[in-house]
Amino acid sequence: MENNYLCYKGRPLVRCGNEIYFGSMSDKYIILIKETAVKKVNDIDVGSRFEIQLLFTDPDIKGRGKVYKTSEKNTFADTLELAEAWLERFNA
């Protein structure tokens, strides 16, 4: 099967507005990254605060019950590193 998604460390990244979904729906958990603050750098909006949520992919779990763990980071690089660590640990 051909994968047309942008990937980070072998996992798909899918953006929808200011939200990025990281991981595969076939795993037990995925990550939701929300850009919560931006700053201007050379007239370009750059994310400066990110909320990370580890979510259950089980379709029978609804609402807030989907959120297993949360955190916040100031850089997208730190956000992705934490997200990758969570997926490695909790999908093992």
Instruction: Kindly write down the DSSP assignment for every residue of 2-70, as one continuous string.
Output: ---SEEETTEEEEEETTEEEES-TTSSEEEEEEEEEEEEETTEEEEEEEEEEEEE--TT--GGGGEEEE
Q: Cα–Cα–Cα angle for 13, 54, 74, nearest 5°? A: 75
pLDDT at 63: 87
The tens digit of pLDDT for each residue in 3-32 reads 678 999 999 999 998 899 999 999 999 999
**Which residues make Cβ contacts (< 8 Å) with residue 30, sequence separation at least 6?**
21, 22, 23, 24, 54, 55, 57, 87
Question: Chain centroid to CA 63: how far?
Answer: 17
Res 72 pLDDT > 90: yes
pLDDT at 1: 41
pLDDT at 5: 82
The tens digit of pLDDT for each residue in 34-63 reads 999 989 999 998 889 999 999 999 999 988
Residue at token pair 């370009």: 44
**Boundaries of every domain in the chain:** 6-90
